Chains A and B, each alone.
Chain A
């Protein structure tokens, strides 16, 4: 049933799940949420099953009129949320009732917040995913970011028996200076001194930063002598640090498919959400780690989620 009406859409708000996996070989980008921890936490907080579609909010949150009694939660970037002008906390379940007005503000720390509703946003599944890919006008709500006057449905789900509040220690902070861990490759053999440069200097996030990729600015990273300036075009995975002709790195994200430039290193999965929480002007450093360490961090991340889940459903 109709559950929420959009009064103001915010900066760039789209329905996303974990992504569209099966068609990457056909040039359909993965899409999906950029900050996986915030996504998973939001669903856990309202009692949704894994991978239920949520709304990803960018820089500025929407104003929403509630038409249905349900639980909602706002995680990720600190934006501030009010119910009928009363401030409420993020990273916790909030019971809302028909007639309530929800207003989510301007980002204060981080970049992207996640709004989960009990039952999830009820949108059609397209090619195996609920994620919006606005570039091809597919998925999510009508294949596009939400607009004022849109009316969205949510799934039917039981309300929580007790409210859920994420313990403070599990709430990530979003500093303006971050260090992201990365594994060398796939084309680190295209670089020599540039590898040292990447891991020792600081890069600024430019205004060209979206779900396709983040263009950075800082020390240039030259291709080594004798190597071509480009590679035979190939698909990229989110987190790849690509070095194009201007020698300034670009972090490729979830709406990128094929690229023709060498990728010096790849940010580990566990740190991808932290890329998405930086905004233009923030500073990034890179730290080199090995595959084994990256994999152990993935296990840690999974265990953390299991622990959080157990906290609410003992």
Chain B
């Protein structure tokens, strides 16, 4: 299914140290997979002067040092890689399980989602915890995953007035997206549950539990299990 992929990527300048290479114009698993394959291939080559590659839904943002490398060199590299590597094949995808205690004090907007979907709590939980959600991109705050594949029946618009404080670990829905708040921050997503896991631990060797390209599955847990895991996390 490569029909959405463009013949040639679109390149855009982002100032004098950034280059955006777009592989498509929509949120789509194939396009996103191509983005990640290309990111991995470029990271493998690590051309001098390339400071960082940031994968997005449908593009790559290259941050470069113009003293060492020019956008035209990066574009040439991408074109060369496009003709030599297979970006459409099957890939090993890591599945990351995230325990979530739904509803109650951890899910203050469960009622909104129930009202909007005309489903009961159990059905909302079942539909939300069933899919393996692909992580398209990580951003907004450290470790915030933008997930695809939310069941249509759960689509719920953002809160009309965003909260000033959403607790760390909160799991929410915004229109056709679902995601988690790794750190306490303001936010307008409909919060339906919370994970006891520490999603962003700056002092941990790997501060994050997942990256773009992994899949996430939510595992419903009870409040007791929540407290137990939370305690283990804090040890």
- Tell me which residues across on chain A come within 8 A of B51, comparing CB atoms: 21
Q: In the bound complex, do residue A298 and residue B144 qualify as a contact, i.e. CB atoms below 8 Å apart?
A: no
- Which one, B14, B15, B142, contacts A28 given CB within 8 A? B142
Complex Cα distance, B144 from A23, in Å, reads 12
Chain B, 9-39, CB within 8 A of any chain A CB? 12-18, 20, 25-27
Q: In the bound complex, do residue B66 and residue A295 qualify as a contact, i.e. CB atoms below 8 Å apart?
A: yes
- Which one, B18, B56, B138, B185, contacts A135 given CB within 8 A? B185
Asked if A239 is at the interface of the complex by the 8 Å CB criterion, the answer is: yes
Asked if B58 is at the interface of the complex by the 8 Å CB criterion, the answer is: yes
Complex Cα distance, B17 from A298, in Å, reads 10
Q: In the complex, how many residues of chain A place their beta carbon closer than 8 angstroms to a beta carbon of chain B?
A: 40
Q: In the bound complex, do residue B53 and residue A183 qualify as a contact, i.e. CB atoms below 8 Å apart?
A: no
Q: In the bound complex, do residue A266 and residue B14 qualify as a contact, i.e. CB atoms below 8 Å apart?
A: yes
Asked if A166 is at the interface of the complex by the 8 Å CB criterion, the answer is: no
- Tell me which residues across on chain B come within 8 A of A23, comparing CB atoms: 142, 207
Q: In the bound complex, do residue B139 and residue A235 qualify as a contact, i.e. CB atoms below 8 Å apart?
A: yes
Asked if B4 is at the interface of the complex by the 8 Å CB criterion, the answer is: no
Complex Cα distance, B63 from A137, in Å, reads 25
Chain A, 55-89, CB within 8 A of any chain B CB? none
Shortest distance from the beta carbon of B164 to any chain A beta carbon, whole Å: 13
- Which one, A27, A126, A187, contacts B203 given CB within 8 A? A126
Q: In the bound complex, do residue B56 and residue A233 qualify as a contact, i.e. CB atoms below 8 Å apart?
A: yes
- Which one, A28, A236, A237, contacts B17 given CB within 8 A? A237
Shortest distance from the beta carbon of B216 to any chain A beta carbon, whole Å: 15
Q: In the bound complex, do residue A27 and residue B55 qualify as a contact, i.e. CB atoms below 8 Å apart?
A: no
- Tell me which residues across on chain B come within 8 A of A170, comparing CB atoms: none
Shortest distance from the beta carbon of B96 to any chain A beta carbon, whole Å: 14
Asked if A33 is at the interface of the complex by the 8 Å CB criterion, the answer is: no
- Which one, A126, A234, A237, A266, contacts B57 given CB within 8 A? A234
Q: In the bound complex, do residue B12 and residue A186 qualify as a contact, i.e. CB atoms below 8 Å apart?
A: yes
Q: In the bound complex, do residue A240 and residue B55 qualify as a contact, i.e. CB atoms below 8 Å apart?
A: no
Asked if B146 is at the interface of the complex by the 8 Å CB criterion, the answer is: yes
Complex Cα distance, B61 from A163, in Å, reads 44
A21-B52, A135-B141, A136-B141 given; A237·B14 CB < 8 A: yes
Q: Taking beta carbons and an 8 Å cutoff, which residues of A are in contact with B?
A: 21-28, 126-127, 135-138, 183-187, 232-237, 239-240, 257-258, 263, 266-269, 291, 294-295, 298-299, 302
- List the 10 closest pairs (A to B, CB-CB), nearest first: A266-B15, A258-B139, A186-B12, A294-B16, A27-B139, A234-B56, A237-B18, A295-B66, A28-B142, A185-B13
Q: List 25 A-B contacts (CB under 8 A).
A: A25-B54, A25-B55, A25-B211, A26-B142, A26-B208, A27-B144, A136-B141, A136-B142, A136-B200, A186-B12, A186-B14, A186-B20, A233-B146, A234-B59, A234-B61, A257-B140, A257-B141, A258-B139, A258-B140, A263-B14, A266-B14, A266-B16, A291-B13, A295-B16, A298-B16
Q: Taking beta carbons and an 8 Å cutoff, which residues of B are in contact with A?
A: 12-18, 20, 25-27, 51-59, 61, 63, 66-67, 71, 137-144, 146, 183, 185, 200, 202-203, 207-208, 211-212
